[in-house]
Chains A and B, each alone.
Chain A
Amino acid sequence: MVQRIEVFTVSEDGRAKTLEAQFKKSGKNLESVRVVDVYTIEEGIQDQGRLNACLQSFTNPVTQKAFVLEDGQAPANDYIETVGDFDWALEIGFLPGVTDNIGHTATELTALTLGRDKTLYSSQVILLKGSLSEEDVKEVAAELHNPLIQRAANKNKDQFLADGGMDAVVPRVVLDNKGSAVDEVNLNVSDEDLITIGREGIENADGSRRGPLGMSLLYMQAVQEHYKKEGRNPTDVELETLAQTWSEHCKHTIFASPIDEVKSGLYKHYIKRATSEIREARGSDDFCISVFSDNAGGIIFDDNWMITDKVETHNSPSALDPFGGAITGIVGVNRDCLGFGQGAKPALNRYGFCLADPRKDLEYYRGKNKMNPTLSPDTIMKGVVAGVEAGGNQSGIPTPQGFLYFDDRYVGKPLVFAGTVGVIPREINGKPAHEKSAQPGDRIIMVGGKVGRDGIHGATFSSVALDEGSPATAVQIGDPITQKKLSDAIIKDIRDLGLYSAVTDNGAGGLASSVGEMAEGSGGFELALDQVPLKYPGMQPWEIWISESQERMTMAVPPENVDKIIELFAKRGSEAWDIGEFTDSGRAVLTWHGDNVMDMSMAFLHDGVPETPLSTTFTRGGEEEPDLPEPNDYAEELYAMMGRLNICSKEFVSAQYDHNVQGSAVLGPIQGKGRICAEATVSRPVLESKAGAVLSQGLAPRYSDIDTREMAMAALDSAVRHAIAAGGDIDHLALLDNICWCSSDEPERLGQLKRAMEAIYDMAVHYRTPFISGKDSMFNDFKGYDADNNPVTISVPPTLLISGIGVIDNVAKAVSLDTKQAGDLVYLLGETKDELGASEYYDRHGKLGSNVPETDTALNYKLYQALSKANKQQLCASAMAVGFGGLGITLAKKSVASGLGMDIQVESDLRLDKLLFSESQGRVVVTIAPQDKDAFETAMGDYPHVAQIGTVTDAFSLKINNVEADLKKLEEAYKETLKDY
């Protein structure tokens, strides 16, 4: 019989108070809120003693009271008493098949306590007291749950009491499969039919289709051709596998395709070539160890350690379920770290969110007639922030470095970047730790979680309505604790025993991708799909193979080590399964209860994808330079600029992300007494080593509206500049590229892309900063309808994120952004030009302009070399690169950070507003102790633009020429904008 365990908090509850405040703020006539934690057991625990033993792990008797409700029986009087006075009860639980981490823990606890398995499901009842209509309650429910993954039910008090509480709901997955079967797919059909299969998927017996393969006619014809030669039709497993393996997501076909005169494609010609040329030029000073070939890139950290980095995007899932998308993003990229070489320890997380203004009500729909609305910018922001919070914090990985960037064109497709830096000894057991290869005869071991329908055909899921019994397959929620157990077992207990030949993560494409890639090392594989453990019965073979269920790694293990490794995982509460063998047969073979359901040549699987030559066009964007009236009150202009979304404080995010765990923080995300958000952080990820990791990021999406070349250069220059300002060394700095484009099937968009890639090739080679890893996401477009039912397409501005990872030999060389002492000299390094095109200042005044900042690579390189030299001698008391908002904002932030004013006199031909707010690249503001003046100027060498522009003062104001701004007001403006989040 179904049992509900309901846990009431009888003392003050921070969660309830916060909800209360939230609903009152949104105008609900509400007196109070209470939160009840519910655990539903399908087959209840009848023995009172055993039940009590379980209850103590669900309840804290000091503040809580638990009740057990049997389905169909009237609750006890003291339950009714404890429920007490309320008007509405609202219950939110998960839909079948959705990852329920609390339920998972409760299940594990019950097994531990009782010694036998029972499945528990978690939900929450919210008791609302107030004068609320059912409509109000539904609005509250809408704020609290996402119908893609959760159910909501409500009852008024009378109904609740009449029924004896909320209804017991067991979200068990029931798959309506008429026996698992493998179908042959007839490809001896017309091109029209091939197009239909590619676009809508394989046809089921009942005429319905399984969902898109995303294969073009060209691809389908290549498959048709191949199987003609084989003299048979493909099975559904084979076709699904090809679709997955050849997808843009896995093969990055746009970057690999010939484009105009660039026959080897953008990736090889610009990104990879830049790195190989830099490595060659550096010769014995090359610090790259493993680039582009593994789940992350790896560079030298010190004599004993290597440091790795990888940044991923998780955009589409985050549009549907921001929390699930973001947590899966961060926990997923942690696995890229674990899957580097023999396994790197996750040491630092980074994040980035490109979002629409959360204060705006932007109304869009995926379907006609107001069907399937997009989530509000506010909901998306809160969700993605919470997702990385849960994923990063629960994993025990510090998350110091990140950004939020706002532009309303991210409304339908937020960009969610998640990155993980890892550390790994350079050698393990005398062998280079970055090397690995599956050997013929190795067993295929899957470790971590079981397989469900998660992520199958995920991208196309958004428009499908969910019914009660169907698992929400597209939206996944990461389970950080399952992964933490797995991660600790690999890194802390198993890796150094030398029991496996190779390890990789199971991410996009699931087993199809991880096993397929690893098998390139051995030359083939044979895997028994019926041996893969499932979350629930009834899955089809092809689903098992391409499922993207999270928290899984794949290992290649010599047969003699298999029992040992499975036992070691078991000791750490992780499960591992032997599901097949790596071979050298040249074939990719899958079996299902002994029958071959896939038998394909490895060569066709990996190299059979046809080339699609691309061609491009390019037109520069931008408008005329505006003729803005000069501000009559510059101080007010500064305050207004400080409060702009892309300039203001994001402390509410940084303070929620644990940046001190592992004890490695040196310069954190919030700096100075005035708590200013830093653009770069410094950490000491290996406690035994004094060396530091400098993390930075750079992007400038709005510049794409004028020229993607300058957008890309500004992104790269910013990432480098921020890192050097924080104490970095231009001679030990690597880069990662994340390209988030839109409409990448249009020649004009491809032209913008090519231009951007040309630019970053040139810059990286000049700065000698190699790319070590990257990722692209090519179709960030929203297609739907506005509130008036007009069809709209909203494309994100072409966005390049460059992440910097630098190494310094001693964290004592780190430089913070806050000024240190009155009397210190303020220097502006770099040239301020009339470059306000696409700037924050023009945007504030509703203009785009034309003069987008142009980056002078040769000149800037001189500056970064000189500043690196100064850093080595610890000559800068403080430093901050000039970014969005320009010089005025940088001076203001530095002053607010320390609470010390400045007295600045800058000479320039520019009108003061242009001087203050120009976003010219290649500029850094530093402060220097007077006794270091000569040494500093010597270190600057022949770099020409070194200007002492003033001094730090102990006044509480920022004076620039004849303008005087109050530090308190600057600080308030900076902190006001997002203070309620």
Chain B
Amino acid sequence: MTAKALVITGYGLNSEEETAKGFEYAGFDASIRHINDLAENPKELNDVQAISVPGGFSYGDDTGSGNAMAQKMRLTIGDALKEFVARDTLTIGICNGCQVVVNLGLAPACDSQYGVRQVAVTHNASARYQCRWVDLGVQETNSPWLAGVKSLHVPVAHGEGRFMMDDDTLKVLQDNKQVALRYTKDGTPANGEFPYNPNGSTDDIAGITDETGRVLVLMPHPERGMFTWQRDDYAALKDAARRNGQTLPDESDGLRLFQNAAEYFGINAMKKAS
């Protein structure tokens, strides 16, 4: 027995394999599902505990990143998705997936208004794509995805990662503790400073949740920073470990999110029981 995770792909989403790998490594029964297949059988979601809309470039970011794919999902699996997040399930939107989920209005969904767009994730202040590693501080949050995690060292890779919203919405997000992740510089807030905050995001926001914390959307890529060998400082860590006669741990920060999801559904306990 285990829990099922589904990673949605198609039309330019492209990080499905490594995202599925994260779920699988954490103990999920993980599958990759093309949006057109899911559209034919949206009921499949009834049988699933966690979904991810992964990173990528759906529809080439045309008409605003995530917007076109959100329309496609709204028209094909929109109701099924709303039912899915209403259940005791977990949802993660990463990078382009974050943009899609936000455009679908499944996050932040303040006042439980699922389906209403409340924030925008738009062009970087530099108007330029940025691929680099960042440091994230985990804020006070009820999100199961981030339980026990204080900080994350993971990469970003996006041209439109700037969270924007009106001041009232920002205040609601802050008050409700729905701002889950912020960009930091040496452990302190990045305060909009490039490259620590790589996109000029309002309030250094890198990720937000719905009110339940079960829907997490974030621009950085935990699935590209799951293993030590993927890290930008791998060569230095490896060298130091070798000198000190230590073995470098395989696992790195990004994996924690998938392991937390597994923990939430008691996958290890389930596995032990069966």
Residue positions of A touching B, CB distance < 8 A: 9, 11-15, 17-19, 37, 56-64, 101-102, 104-106, 108-109, 112-113, 122, 389, 393-396, 480-481, 484-485, 488, 493, 571-573, 654-663, 665-668, 671, 684, 687, 811-812, 814-816, 818, 820-821, 874, 877-878, 929, 931
Knowing that A15-B123, A572-B36, A667-B234 touch, tell me 6 more A-B residue pairs with CB under 8 angstroms.
A14-B124, A108-B59, A394-B57, A481-B60, A573-B36, A663-B230
**In the bound complex, CA of A64 to CA of B14 (Å):** 27
**In the bound complex, CA of A57 to CA of B104 (Å):** 10
**How far in angstroms is the closest Cβ of chain B from A100?**
10
**How far in angstroms is the closest Cβ of chain B from A826?**
15
- Could you pull out 20 A-B pairs where Cβ atoms are within 8 angstroms? A18-B127, A62-B117, A62-B164, A101-B60, A104-B62, A105-B62, A109-B59, A112-B71, A112-B75, A481-B57, A481-B60, A573-B10, A573-B36, A655-B130, A660-B131, A660-B155, A661-B55, A667-B234, A667-B235, A820-B240
Q: Residues of A contacting B120 with CB < 8 Å?
A: 11, 60, 62-63
B142-198 at interface with A (beta carbon < 8 Å): 155, 157, 159, 162, 164-166
Is B10's CB under 8 angstroms from A58's CB?
Answer: no
Q: Residues of B contacting A113 with CB < 8 Å?
A: 71, 75
Q: Is B82 in the interface zone, CB < 8 Å from A? A: no
Is A14's CB under 8 angstroms from B200's CB?
Answer: yes
Residue from B34, B57, B63 within 8 A of A57 (CB atoms):
B63
Q: Residues of B contacting A9 with CB < 8 Å?
A: 122
**In the bound complex, CA of A201 to CA of B37 (Å):** 50
Q: Residues of A contacting B200 with CB < 8 Å?
A: 14
**How far in angstroms is the closest Cβ of chain A from B70?**
7
**In the bound complex, CA of A572 to CA of B34 (Å):** 8
Main secondary structure of the interface of B (DSSP, over half): mixed
Residue from B9, B34, B239 within 8 A of A877 (CB atoms):
B239
**In the bound complex, CA of A488 to CA of B57 (Å):** 13
**How far in angstroms is the closest Cβ of chain A from B137?**
20
Q: Residues of A contacting B9 with CB < 8 Å?
A: 488
Considering residues B11, B131, B226, which has the most beta carbons from chain A within 10 angstroms of its beta carbon? B131
Given A660-B221, A820-B240: A484 touches B130 (CB 8 Å cut-off): no
Is A815's CB under 8 angstroms from B60's CB?
Answer: no
Q: Residues of B contacting A814 with CB < 8 Å?
A: 235
Q: Is B119 in the interface zone, CB < 8 Å from A? A: yes
**How far in angstroms is the closest Cβ of chain A from B95?**
9
Is B12's CB under 8 angstroms from A62's CB?
Answer: no
Considering residues B103, B129, B239, which has the most beta carbons from chain A within 10 angstroms of its beta carbon? B239
Q: Residues of A contacting B165 with CB < 8 Å?
A: 62
Given A105-B62, A656-B130, A661-B157: A812 touches B229 (CB 8 Å cut-off): yes
Binary A-proximity of B18-61 (CB < 8 A = 1, otherwise 0): 10010000000000001011000000000000000001110111
Q: Residues of B contacting A104 with CB < 8 Å?
A: 62
**How far in angstroms is the closest Cβ of chain B from A93?**
15
Is A818's CB under 8 angstroms from B125's CB?
Answer: no
Is B129's CB under 8 angstroms from A60's CB?
Answer: no
Is A60's CB under 8 angstroms from B155's CB?
Answer: no
Given A62-B165, A814-B235: A109 touches B63 (CB 8 Å cut-off): yes
Is B235's CB under 8 angstroms from A57's CB?
Answer: no
Q: Which residue of A lies closest to B233 (CB)?
A: A673
Is B131's CB under 8 angstroms from A102's CB?
Answer: no
**How far in angstroms is the closest Cβ of chain A from B100?**
12
Is B235's CB under 8 angstroms from A818's CB?
Answer: yes
Is B235's CB under 8 angstroms from A14's CB?
Answer: no
Q: Residues of B contacting A931 with CB < 8 Å?
A: 243
Q: Is B271 in the interface zone, CB < 8 Å from A? A: no
Is A105's CB under 8 angstroms from B59's CB?
Answer: yes
Residue from A56, A484, A656, A667 within 8 A of B12 (CB atoms):
A484
Considering residues A395, A488, A818, which has the most beta carbons from chain B within 10 angstroms of its beta carbon? A488
Q: Residues of A contacting B67 with CB < 8 Å?
A: 57-60
Q: Residues of A contacting B232 with CB < 8 Å?
A: 668
Q: Is B15 in the interface zone, CB < 8 Å from A? A: yes
**Nearest 3 CB-CB pairings of A with B:** A396-B14, A816-B235, A57-B71
Considering residues B63, B162, B166, which has the most beta carbons from chain A within 10 angstroms of its beta carbon? B63
**In the bound complex, CA of A814 to CA of B239 (Å):** 11
**How far in angstroms is the closest Cβ of chain A from B237?**
10
Considering residues A105, A394, A658, which has the most beta carbons from chain B within 10 angstroms of its beta carbon? A658
Q: Residues of B contacting A63 with CB < 8 Å?
A: 120, 122, 164
Is B75's CB under 8 angstroms from A571's CB?
Answer: no
Q: Is B209 in the interface zone, CB < 8 Å from A? A: no
**How far in angstroms is the closest Cβ of chain B from A578?**
22
Q: Which residue of A lies closest to B18 (CB)?
A: A663
Q: Is B139 in the interface zone, CB < 8 Å from A? A: no
Is A105's CB under 8 angstroms from B63's CB?
Answer: yes
Q: Residues of B contacting A122 with CB < 8 Å?
A: 62
